[in-house]
Amino acid sequence: MRGSRSKALHDRALVNCQYSMATFSTGERKRRPHGDRKSSEMTLHLKQTFEAAILTQLYPRSQIDIYVQILQADGGNYCACVNAATLATIDAGIPMRDYVCASSAGFIEDTPLADLNYVEEAAGGPQVALALLPKSDQIALLEMNSRLHEDHLEQVIEAASKACKDVYAVLDQVVRDHVHEVTTLLGE
Amino acid sequence: MASVVLSEAEKVYIVHGIQEDLRVDGRGCEDYRCIEVETDVVSNTSGSARVKLGHTDILVGVKAEMGTPKLENPNEGYLEFFVDCSANATPEFEGRGGEELATEIVNTLYRIFSNESTIDVKSLCINPREHCWVLYVDVLLLECGGNLFDAISIAVKAALFNTRIPKVRVLEDEEGSKEIELSDDPFDCIRLNVDNVPCIITLSKIGCRHVVDATLQEEACSLASLLLSVTSRGTLTCMKKLGNGSLDPESIFEMMEVR
């Protein structure tokens, strides 16, 4: 038995995440791949997001491990992690309420921007990271830093939701194509 | 190291097969699995390579940064190695689980590259005693499928081959202080000569025969392994024994004949 027995929950599964960045992923070489504060914070965010989406009631006293490794970072790290982990969970056959799609958004020069890259994030403007369950429009995680006037908040969230829905379309298509291919191969 | 749990019957099956020169996947004792090497995979590094050897997947990134030369070698640049065992490879590597294996790999890499003829470190020097290039070689283990050291050495060699170090000019001021100017052209760079970089070959002793390129299951059955680092000219640069069992000297010489 691998996980910690003391952390096991009696009525649902425990979601255990680890967020790790390769040392060569950022422009400046990163000394510690995981264990620093930012990685721990991302780990907690991922855990929170997936506990909202995975049907943990079906697996009491068990543990689901989600390990994310960043190979190269160019902005939107958290969002790419969420999208990748969603596909991995589906590939593993773990039942979820809905896909979890994430996108970042910002507000520069009075325009809301979706999916910021590294240069735009480093510019210092407000950034919103949104993880959405697309069909029900429920928000799994919403995070914002820097300052943003509340009148603009709705526009920015709107931009992020739209980007999430676009990502959902892509993920859904990929999953359906894959299932179609596998069933055709098995069907023989 | 990552390992699988094998039943006694499976171990006996593997050992008997190897005694007949037939391994589980149909290879002979001296055959490698199919190796896939891809370079220039990570764009914001100076050089990178990805190697897939069966189920083993290694990603190496090299970053060149400016630093001060070490005191004992003021006219040379140097290499720094770092190994990260990703939790994706085995859940045992989560948190600090992979550190023991990582330290072992790093120490082996340092031993191999401590030889002067391996890499021309003098070409990495910019100003003696003041500036030099430091190459940070970062190894990322994505998946463990047996035979880690071989795959890592191939990946490191390929990544160093792919490394592009920008050309620098040293300008001297009137006061004598030196300024370093990087050339603007991204393609104006020096490449490293990796002809003398050795590759590691691991020979595992299973039963009374030895095999090259062991899978995880075969590693679980092996008594001990011998790690040899060999250059393209056939010179042996480093040798190391791993494992709990003991090897008698004749089998060591026999194994060396194989490579």
Could you give the ipTM of this predicted complex? 0.82
Written as tens digits, the pLDDT of chain B (259 aa) is 556 778 889 889 988 988 888 888 888 888 888 899 999 998 888 899 999 998 899 999 999 888 888 888 888 888 899 999 888 888 778 877 788 889 989 998 888 888 777 788 888 888 787 888 889 999 999 998 888 999 999 999 999 988 888 888 777 776 666 667 777 676 777 888 888 888 888 888 888 888 888 888 888 888 888 888 888 776 777 777 777 666 666 666 666 665 5
Nearest to A18 among B44, B84, B87 (CB): B87
Residues B218-249: pLDDT tens digits?
Answer: 888 888 888 888 887 767 777 777 776 666 66
Give yes or no for a contact between A70 and A77, defined as CB atoms under 8 angstroms apart.
Answer: yes
A35 contacts B95? CB cut-off 8 A: yes
Closest chain A residue to the Cα of B45, Cα to Cα: A24
Superfamily for B34-194?
GHMP Kinase, N-terminal domain (3.30.230.70)
Which residues 138-157 of chain B have a CB within 8 Å of chain A? 138, 140, 142
**Portions of chain B given CATH number 3.30.230.70:** 34-194
Which of A25, A33, A67 comes nearest B88 by C-beta?
A: A67
Q: How far apart are CA B101 and CA B84, in angstroms?
A: 9
Nearest to residue A97, comparing CAs of A133, A47, A60? A133
CB B225 within 8 A of CB B243: yes
The tens place of each residue's pLDDT in chain A, 188 residues long, gives: 666 777 788 898 999 999 999 888 888 887 777 778 889 999 999 999 999 899 999 999 899 999 999 999 988 899 999 999 999 999 999 999 999 999 999 998 888 999 999 998 888 889 999 999 999 999 999 999 888 888 899 999 999 999 999 999 999 999 999 999 999 998 86
Q: What strands lie across the sheet with B209-212, from one edge to the other?
A: B209-212, B199-206, B224-230, B236-242
- Strand B189-191 to B224-230 pairing: unpaired
Q: Spell out the domains of chain A, with CATH numbers in brackets.
A: 5-186 (3.30.230.70)
Contacts of A72 (CB under 8 A, 6+ apart): A22, A24, A25, B42, B43, B44
pTM listed for this prediction: 0.86
